[in-house]
Amino acid sequence: MLSRRSFLRSAGTLTLTQLLSGCDNQSTALRVLLLQGSIPPQLLKAFRQQFSKDQSLSFKPTAQLKDLWKQLQSWQVKNRDPQGLKDWLSKLPLIDNTSHKMSDLVTLGDTWLEKAIQDKLIQPLSLTEIANWQKLGSRWQALVKRDEVGNLDLQGQIWGAPYRWGTTLIAYHSDQFETLGWTPTNWGDLWREELRHRIAVVDQPREIIGLTLKKLGYSYNSPNLSQIPNLSSQLQALNQQVKYYSSRYYLQPLIIGDVWLSVGWSSDILPLIAKNRKIKAIIPKSGTSIWTDIWVQPRAKENNIDLSTLTKQWIDFCWQESSVNQISLLTDGASPMIHTIPTISAKIKTNPLLFIDKNIMNNCDFIEPLSELNKQEYKKFWKEMRKSEKGE
């Protein structure tokens, strides 16, 4: 997924920047550039309190993953061509362009990891000596172990530290479904005749083809799509059901009742259902996709620069028990340690959209890298699915 942009997030949270960033000068001991809303301010405050006031820590929130990606690119331009930095910075309106100092850690979405490795924007992390790394679930460890071109590799190096995750959900308007006499429980419900032209979905091929694969009993990451029976016809049938494709505005039609059901990311949907009692959400029984926010280390001029002690402390702090509860309660996401810590908040444990049933969780998939051949096949199926919208 290229973004998890939410039109519902309050612009007022940007005012936290001055409170969280600290003094970003040459003596700053730790610089972290993070996705806005992915770490609670309370957590940053608690971490700061562990150190003396003389030790400068900088935490700068940025609204979009794509802008964090641009910042990673700009640092590499500076490393390769310092004269070209000015042009790059002019394209980064949401980044504080007054500070050119490279951060120690940056938030990156897991689906960007392959490209970041290929483009040499980041470098491996030394996490094995961190106690909580050993407690992190094996599937989370496997997600960030990659080879030198970004492919999953259990023998590969560690390229990121997962600290928050969420899912793709089905959100629906409860009033509209009362008239139908049923509520959605699984992906197959999207194909029911009653929902024809009553659905909005994110405009993302891997998500839409993936949920269709799930409906047919396959993984989001299934290769060789042409060999999967009925996939093409199922995609065509789903296209007839969908009224809107949009990765930014898929929830607004649901709010006003223009559609009855929307498919999108939990980071957008969870704050909506907290404010609007008529909107409900479910995780499909057959499983869904998982997205993950991870800490990555920008690549320095000389690679293999080891993590500082303070940087390791911050990563470990995000995996500690109090942090796990706060991330899961206060960020519209969940900590990857949610099932491993001994005491989890009752508010989390009783929320099936966060504390997911283990049987369903086992059926969920990360969106993994594909071979170039399979990428082209996904593009082909997506184009075929959507061509009727253009009258072809």
In this prediction, residues 347-375 reach a mean pLDDT of: 96
pLDDT greater than 60 at residue 194: yes
Helix (H, G, I), strand (E, B) or coil at 339: coil
Strand 199-201 vs strand 261-265: parallel, antiparallel, or unpaired?
A: parallel
Contacts of 203 (CB under 8 A, 6+ apart): 245, 246, 247, 250
Residue 21 pLDDT grade (very low, low, confident, very high; cuts 50, 70, 90)? very low
Q: Give me the architecture of the 11-165+291-355 domain, per CATH.
A: 3-Layer(aba) Sandwich (3.40)
Domain 166-289+369-390: which CATH number of 3.30.300.30, 3.40.190.10, 3.50.50.60, 3.30.450.20? 3.40.190.10
Q: How far is CA 231 from CA 10, 222, 225, in A?
A: 39, 11, 7
Reported as a single tens digit per residue, the pLDDT across 201-259 is 999 999 999 999 999 999 999 999 999 999 999 999 999 999 999 999 999 999 999 99
Reported as a single tens digit per residue, the pLDDT across 90-123 is 555 544 443 468 999 999 999 999 999 999 999 9
Is residue 104 classed exposed, middle or buried when 0-12, 13-18 and 19+ CB atoms within 10 A define those classes? Answer: buried
Structural domain spans, the chain: 11-165+291-355, 166-289+369-390
